[in-house]
Amino acid sequence: MSKIRISIFRILSVALLLVSGMAAKAAAPSGFEQKIKPFLKENCIRCHGEKKQKGKLALHEVSVDFAKDETSDLWLEILAQLTARDMPPPDEETQPADSQRNTVIEWIDRQLLTAGSGETYRKKLLAPEYGNWVNHEKLFSGEIKTPPFSPSRLWRFNTEIFAHKGFGKSKSPFSYVTSERGIRDYAALSIADQSTVQMTMIVADSFLTDRERRGDFKEFAQNKPMPEEPALVEMIRREHSRVIGRYPSKEEQEKYLSFLKQSIKTGGKLDGFKTTIKAMFLSPESIYRMEFGLGEVDEHGRRHLSPDELAHAIAYALTDHRPDNHPLIRETLQKGKLKTKEDVTRLVRQLLDEQLLTGHWDRKDLPRIRRFFEQFFGFHRAGTVFKDNDRRGAEKINQWNTTMLIHDARMLIEHVLKKDKDVIAELLTTNEYFIAHPGDNEYAREHYDKRITEILDPGYVDARIELRKKQIKGDFNFDNMPEKAEKALVAARRDAEKTVAMFQATLDKGMHRHPNFPFEGKRRGIADLLYIEPYNLPSSGRHGEQKWDWPIEQPLKMPEKERSGLLTHPAWLTAYSLNEGNDPIHRGIWVYERLLAGVLGDVPPDVDAAVPTDPHKTLRERMEPLRNQRCWKCHRKMNPLGEAFEIFDDWGRYRTHHYFDENGEIYLRRDNQFDRKLKEGKLTTRKVDASGEIAFSGDP
């Protein structure tokens, strides 16, 4: 009987397994059989099926049980490959339509969400660098009809805003958590963690110590009577405005007044008052700027920003100051003219019309506009790329001055912004540059004429000697040292005579001598033309022979076949270079992601990113191993774009040939040794291969 019972149990168990298997099969998610399975069969099974399994991946019997981690992980990989358009491979003749691809992507994402899987993946997509993973076809097709809106947002204050809060020389507690390359300020990207709070308290302590030293808290001295309540209220309002940026509400005022009284009772007058100020530093508004939508609700249920929120949003979108520090924004808010979309448009246009390019040369009135272009293009990072001094001398870079190259790029941006026509297209295509110029032609002409008149005046040398005598007389370093003073006067005469001679020689050749611009409030100082070699121009110092006719009116036209916009500007080329050479990979990534809105998958953890060294090969030749099947899947998107910039060296100079010495090694020197070897026929040349390709642009 027991044997019969066991047999029945076995039969029932097998039957149950079969039924459950059929049930699982029958419970495949909606849409799999109708849309997903045919897609896999058409586009994937050929390489990932029963007979052929590239990358050890088989999809002919792929599981759809998303409750299992291994199944979710597999579909996450499929999702990433489809989103990055790495699969099917682009060289396949048959490619799925965008609508088909998008259907599969949405289906996978929906199944992962339903199963509670892929949380890490979804969080990753919220990071700024994954912005291109948004479906651009769907985004711009017009099929999305719902009214747009922004969620409630908390913006953690950035370092630039903190610098203008008036807390002295305290180090900012608000550090960026974004990559150094690209736009850096995003809402709700990072909460205030423990380190931020700790740094905030250090700032508060330093701020209060400095103020106590200056005597700001005399009202709370031990030998003085306790201030009356109206005085305490006024102090709370003053400190709240200083720390938070606005006066407290009635409820907040009562709360802080009660807290102040209790703190004074516990720790004494001075410590109690300082503790109350510290409490203000720990309030959310001290760390975040908030956009909750405290205004009216429209017919779609969207909450408008309140006038105060709008004032803060505009102020921090264009400046680093709170709105009450900006007269135009403050007055508009106080007059009640910041309530509607039209009000915002009018105010922003007025700000741009009146203050787009005004302010100190290094601290513009609307600094975030220039900062956007700097962070988008990234040329402002040129100075962070180390270039060896020995290379600089050997390769004929008389002065490596990235600060001036960045200044020139900024002048170009300001010029294009001022014209306000096809700004991005103009910045990418213009061959008009500013070189060693203040950006203001009227001022440049005025200063040039003034310098010519001054230096060619017969009394110029004697005037310089008299000026030096006055300087020596007021300098204690020359006290009782007549010989030193005499040498200084001789040197002053020599410099003045040399200046006159150089100006005259340049004018005699029919050229304009660079006039040496001084530092002024609105304009940066520009000493000479010593740094201009990266433009393929001959450099010259203050007392050297000038070989280039510096144009008084700029921008000047560069050779059309050599320069086109910011991406061929020495500042940008340098920012996307390496210590000892070009960086075509990151240049290509920039073009692919910023201009083509392309998607790159994450770099596999076992990838060796080093390019092999070989002095007999050009960089492009050394990068040839990246064209193997495993690497090329990703590098095909960036290398053909970045290799087009090989027509420039890593200093930003245009070039047409590589030079090789007697041993067949690349010869990089461009000094006298280069000239001698070239003359003696000891160098061979090979034309630079700067061919490239624009693919994956989304265009048909």
For 553-610, what is each residue's pLDDT tens digit? 999 999 999 999 999 999 999 999 999 999 999 999 999 999 999 988 877 777 777 7
Q: Which of 325, 381, 371 is nearest to 572 (CA)?
A: 381
> 323 burial class (0-12, 13-18, 19+ CB within 10 angstroms)?
buried
CB atoms within 10 A of CB 131: 15
pLDDT band of 16, cuts 50, 70, 90: very low
Tokens of 325: 């520090």
Mean pLDDT (whole number) for 536-562? 96
The domain ranges of the chain are: 1-26, 31-125, 154-290, 383-557, 585-687
Euclidean distance between CA atoms 236 and 256, whole angstroms:
7
Tokens 């998610």 correspond to 29
Tokens of 516: 């040496």
Euclidean distance between CA atoms 699 and 693, whole angstroms:
14
pLDDT at 320 (0 to 100) = 87
pLDDT at 325 (0 to 100) = 87
Q: Which of 108, 107, 24, 116 is nearest to 65 (CA)?
A: 24
Tokens of 187: 């809402």
**Mean pLDDT, rounded, of the chain:** 88
Question: What is the percentage of the chain residues whose pLDDT exceeds 90?
Answer: 58
pLDDT at 86 (0 to 100) = 84
Question: CB within 8 A of 472, min separation 6: which ones?
Answer: 478, 485, 488, 489
Return the SS3 of 288: strand
Most confident of 50-64, 141-155, 218-232, 525-539: 525-539
Q: Is residue 432 within a helix (H) or strand (E), and if so which, with residue range?
A: strand 432-433
Euclidean distance between CA atoms 72 and 26, whole angstroms:
19
pLDDT at 231 (0 to 100) = 92
Cα separations (Å) of 408 from 309, 547, 571? 37, 20, 8
pLDDT tens digits, one per residue of 122-133: 888 877 888 888
More confident residue, 15 or 315: 315
pTM for the model stands at: 0.83
Q: Which of 74, 176, 186, 175 is nearest to 130 (CA)?
A: 186
Tokens 């958590």 correspond to 177
pLDDT tens digits, one per residue of 477-510: 888 888 888 999 999 999 999 999 999 999 999 9
Tokens of 540: 């010259």
Cis ω before 88 (30° cut-off from 0): yes
